[in-house]
Structure 1
């Protein structure tokens, strides 16, 4: 894009920042006056000569108000009011009337007009009336957006299933940070659901109406990443027959999700850093820059600081990407969430395939909790799908479907349900002690156990006092 075009875009951006006011009048001189007054008052006028043209310029998301003459060719301003209320009952309409039309205007107020103003009118009075209407509209749209967010928030537990303390904390983080526009880095092992978290951040944010554009930096050849991300002009390289916007531009007013960020070629990272700093993108072969309004959410399946130390990720880029860092716990640290997830996936696949799933056997239920699930939620989902599909033929044991040879051997060696459950319980408590550095108070809080119960379990499971704080009461 040329610099001259940039200037034009800047002017358009200023206009876009103003609240639109739809002006409806068949008198050109009146429309010219209203156009000037609206702009002086800080609004962006949109014009129509009759009711039909006006209706073509609005929908339920129109962010401003309508100022219309009562006397229009064809349908009247009052007719327009009725039609507008069918589109959105809370879209404000201000009617302009001549002296003899006041009774009609009063009737229009009863039908839901926001206000009316009598010609000839003081421009300052008109501006005040429009400001009140626009402010009312702003509050209506904000309340609707808040309602949608609350509905989405209630649905967050359906997207990120789990009742473990880690998952409750994760959902709380998402709902909090979604309301900001800060760059977020999501860190988690493969299969933990990093894109699910990224989409939740988008859907709960003020950018929910904008696009969610994803790019997996590890899924493309290094030579293609630059063109995919930054776009190119026609003729920029062999095969570039026409100009193409990159993922950055495609994410305008929305969220750009960069998965596997540490796989991005090092040579391109300074160019991405510049986009984040300057909020403008330069296409390959371009002669100018384009301003962009995006939120960047990135993801890594390894500790980002380790990626920096291994020269996979620039440190200055990391500082731009992880203003907020959200870590997703692996499934093996989420306690009974594995059973909740499995049941959810089984129900979904049973519906998709029209198969009635078999009840889960006791040793399968124990396996769900005892297995490490190295592939995390993705592996569990696959096991649930195979379980449903194999049900009509007599589903084999879940440990067989999961394909874990080590776990099959463990099950043969410790086949009794009691042994399996004790092994799982021991591992959960030992892992919690390790995570909290031996802090018994933190373990009690995480596992929601009374101190006496924890003591009894540690004794029964062979976890000695030396494994925890020696000051713990017997």
Structure 2
């Protein structure tokens, strides 16, 4: 699988870059001109286009615009001379992925390519999921290889079509609404509405009208009929977030709806049937003795048919590299910029932080890092790190290995080249540090875990 189509009409430049990238495990298709390059580019091309700007047959900017029409999500890196920088900046505004000014360091080109390839593969994987016959595998939204996340995805697939109400318990930012969306998308209700209500954000004076709706004249100011959120979710899914903050009076009315599957809007005695699945989310333990005075036990037991316990991010740290890489690639696409290289000190910060805001906090950190406004130096210096010198060296080595695995999506060949290690030494270090390489494999990627000739 080609990672890079490299275009330059100077044979010496082509050969030098092809050899340098090949030594780093990058598969290159070198082309002498734009026409040749276009013959290798398709909407499912999995890599990056790198092109010189000044070429005789067709210049790089024209080639870039051809590629934009073919597929605007193919990352294009422009190689420019000093006088072309202003033009290259303009091309980035049009959607170019990055540009490098001559002379450029090989490491800079390699980093831009690797980030571009990672982003491209995420784009293609998302397209593949959307294009599948039937519903997409929405459970893939709950990313992670930690055992708890694997079990949660399997549970959601099992109960998605069972039409049982679900209670989701987890800390703030752990992904409770994502669980509700996954259940909705995996179920036969996916064509219906997904209606989300934050019970803690609605004032007590309006929550009854919001949930149940009202008829004209039901109260002062009610001039026309309003369909409540529960009725609007008919045929779909009703997501009630922070349900622990719902008042006792509203709990009674909600319990009645769950038992009868009927709703009575304010201002009428009419009962309207509703076909809904309810997913309720809470950060509190509703079954605890201390919650009995605030939350009705009968409502708790009615909701607690199936419970999903979401682990906090600090309890599944092995998923942090995968999640950060995903969020950073998504941020780069949204902000139209490249993902900066992540140094070991920052990886150390990511792996040791307690993440009180969980996955949501990690996503915001990725946004700031890609934008260049994250300033981690103050809290990631390791000078005061406890332990002996050999222990610190071991930790640093493990962080470098994890960072290389993230950069190369768990692929052995590229990781070995980046670390400059023989295969046997590499696997010895994985065992010593307790690193599972397969956790870093990108979705759908082939595993190149095969012994190379001469490895010992």
TM-score normalised by structure 2 residue count: 0.55
1:376 corresponds in structure 2 to 358
Q: 1:271 pairs with 235, 247, 253, which one?
A: 253
Question: What's the CA shift string for 1:259-286, capped at 9, x where partnerless?
Answer: 0000111111111111111111111111
Question: What's the CA shift string for 1:155-191, capped at 9, x where partnerless?
Answer: 522x111111111111111111112100000000000
1:350 corresponds in structure 2 to 332
- 8 A Cα contact 2:176 2:281, kept in partner: yes
Using the TM superposition, give the Cα deviation of residue 308 of structure 1 relative to its aligned residue in structure 2, in angstroms.
Answer: 6.2
2:384 corresponds in structure 1 to 413
- 8 A Cα contact 1:192 1:378, kept in partner: yes
The change in CA–CA distance for 1:420 and 1:219 in structure 2 (over 3 A counts) is farther
Unaligned runs of 5+ in 1: 1-145, 401-407, 426-452, 459-474
- 1:255 & 1:308 partners in 2: Cα distance? 30
- 2:179 & 2:353 partners in 1: Cα distance? 24
1:341 corresponds in structure 2 to 323
1:156 corresponds in structure 2 to 139
Question: What's the CA shift string for 1:68-100, capped at 9, x where partnerless?
Answer: xxxxxxxxxxxxxxxxxxxxxxxxxxxxxxxxx
SS of the counterpart of 1:258?
strand
Using the TM superposition, give the Cα deviation of residue 223 of structure 1 relative to its aligned residue in structure 2, in angstroms.
Answer: 1.2
TM-score normalised by structure 1 residue count: 0.53
SS of the counterpart of 1:252?
coil
SS of the counterpart of 1:360?
coil
2:148 corresponds in structure 1 to 166
Q: 1:320 pairs with 299, 302, 305, which one?
A: 302
Unaligned runs of 5+ in 2: 1-131, 399-428, 435-456
Q: 2:231 pairs with 249, 270, 278, which one?
A: 249
Q: 1:396 pairs with 342, 361, 375, which one?
A: 375
- 8 A Cα contact 2:239 2:280, kept in partner: yes
- 8 A Cα contact 2:218 2:266, kept in partner: yes
Using the TM superposition, give the Cα deviation of residue 239 of structure 1 relative to its aligned residue in structure 2, in angstroms.
Answer: 1.4
Q: Select the structure of larger CA radius of gyration.
A: 1
Is structure 2 residue 187 aligned with structure 1 residue 205? yes
SS of the counterpart of 2:188?
coil
- 8 A Cα contact 2:349 2:380, kept in partner: no
SS of the counterpart of 1:336?
helix
1:332 corresponds in structure 2 to 314
Using the TM superposition, give the Cα deviation of residue 414 of structure 1 relative to its aligned residue in structure 2, in angstroms.
Answer: 1.1
Greater relative contact order (Cα 8 A, min sep 6): structure 1 or 2?
Answer: 2
Question: What's the CA shift string for 1:349-389, capped at 9, x where partnerless?
Answer: 11111221221101111211111101001111111101111
- 2:383 & 2:283 partners in 1: Cα distance? 33
- 8 A Cα contact 2:193 2:233, kept in partner: yes
SS of the counterpart of 2:145?
coil
Question: What's the CA shift string for 1:409-434, capped at 9, x where partnerless?
Answer: 884421889539759x9xxxxxxxxx
- 8 A Cα contact 2:263 2:273, kept in partner: yes
- 1:195 & 1:421 partners in 2: Cα distance? 39
Runs of 4+ in 1 over 6 A off after TM superposition: 455-458
Question: What's the CA shift string for 1:435-469, capped at 9, x where partnerless?
Answer: xxxxxxxxxxxxxxxxxx9x9999xxxxxxxxxxx
- 2:368 & 2:262 partners in 1: Cα distance? 47
SS of the counterpart of 2:134?
helix
CA RMSD of aligned residues (A): 2.9
- 2:191 & 2:432 partners in 1: Cα distance? 53
More helix by share: 1
